[in-house]
Chain A
Amino acid sequence: MSDVQKWQGYLIKSQGDNHLICSPWILDGSCVFGHDSDYTTLAISLLRYLSIDFETSTLTNIDEKISQETLLASTDFVTGNEGFTITCNDDASVSIFLDSHNSIELPTDEMGDINSDIYHQITNAWQDEFNVNNISQGAYVSSQQYNQNLDSRLSLVAQDNGQLIWPQRQMDAGGNDIQDKKIRIKPFGKVTTWTKLSAAGAPSEFAIRAPILGGVCTVMIEMLDGPKGVFLQVDDQNLTPQIGDSAEIVVRRLYAQEGVIRYGAKAIITNR
Chain B
Amino acid sequence: MLLALGTVMVDVGIIGAGQTKYGNHQLGMKGMWAEAARNAFNSVDKDFHPNQIDEAFIGSVAFGGGQLGNTAALLTEHSGMQGKPVRRVENACASSGFALRDAWMAIKSGQADIVVAGGIEKMNDLTPERKRFWLGVSGDTEWERLAGLTFPGTYALMARRYFHEFDSTHDDLVNISVKNHFHGLENHFAHIRKDVSFDKAKNGFMVADPLTLYDCCPTSDGASCVILAADHVVKQFTDDPIWINSSTAASDYLALHDRPSITQLLATQMAAKRAYSMAGIKPNDIDLAEVHDCFTIAELLATEDLGFANRGEGGLFAREGRGRRNEGNTCINPSGGLKSKGHPLGATGTGQTVEIFKQLRGEVESIRQVRDAETALSHNVGGSGATCAVHVYGRDRT
Contact = CB atoms under 8 A, between A and B. Distances in A.
A136 interface: yes
B360 to A, nearest CB: 37
B208 A201 contact: yes
Given A198-B207, A230-B143, A138 B148 contact: no
Interface string B30-72: 0000000000000000000000000000000000010000000
Contacts of B137: 138-139
A218 B157 contact: yes
Contact of B146 (A138, A192, A200, A264): A264
Nearest to B260: A228
A220 B259 CA distance: 12
A207 B145 CA distance: 12
B149 interface: yes
A1 interface: no
Contacts of A227: 257
Contacts of A195: 153, 156-157, 160, 208-211
A230 B149 contact: yes
B129 A202 contact: no
Contacts of B146: 141, 205, 254-255, 262, 264
A15 interface: no
B132 A196 contact: no
Contacts of B136: 138-139, 203
A203 B157 contact: no
Contacts of A78: none
A204 B133 contact: yes
B130 A198 contact: no
Contact of B157 (A149, A193, A198): A193
A139 B133 contact: yes
A234 to B, nearest CB: 12
A253 B172 CA distance: 38
A207 B211 CA distance: 20
B206 interface: yes
A137 interface: yes
Interface in B80-134: 129-130, 132-134
Contacts of B133: 136-139, 204
B134 A138 contact: yes
Contact of A201 (B142, B153, B256, B262): B153
Interface string A221-260: 0000001111110000000000100000000001100000
Nearest to B216: A201
A196 to B, nearest CB: 5
A194 B157 contact: yes
A206 interface: yes
B257 A198 contact: no
B141 A141 contact: yes
Given A137-B65, A230-B257, A201 B160 contact: no
Contacts of A228: 257-258
A167 interface: yes
Nearest to A198: B207
Interface residues of A, number: 40
Nearest to B259: A228
A88 interface: no
Nearest to A193: B161
B256 to A, nearest CB: 7
B387 interface: no
A103 interface: no
B153 to A, nearest CB: 5
A194 B257 contact: no
Best-surrounded residue of B133, B137, B148, B153 (most CB of chain A within 10 A): B148
A184 to B, nearest CB: 18
A243 B164 contact: yes
A200 B207 contact: yes
Interface in B181-235: 205-211
A252 B266 CA distance: 34
A193 B142 contact: no
A197 B262 contact: no
Given A138-B137, A195-B153, A149 B148 contact: no
Interface of B: 65, 129-130, 132-137, 141-150, 152-153, 156-158, 160-161, 164, 205-211, 255-258, 262
Given A194-B157, A206-B148, A220-B161, 6 more contacts: A138-B133, A195-B208, A195-B209, A203-B135, A203-B148, A218-B147
23 contacts: A136-B133, A137-B133, A138-B133, A139-B136, A139-B137, A139-B141, A140-B141, A193-B158, A194-B160, A196-B206, A201-B153, A201-B207, A203-B135, A203-B149, A203-B150, A205-B145, A207-B132, A220-B161, A230-B144, A230-B257, A232-B147, A243-B160, A254-B146
The 7 closest A-B pairs by CB, nearest first: A138-B133, A195-B156, A216-B148, A193-B161, A230-B147, A138-B134, A139-B137
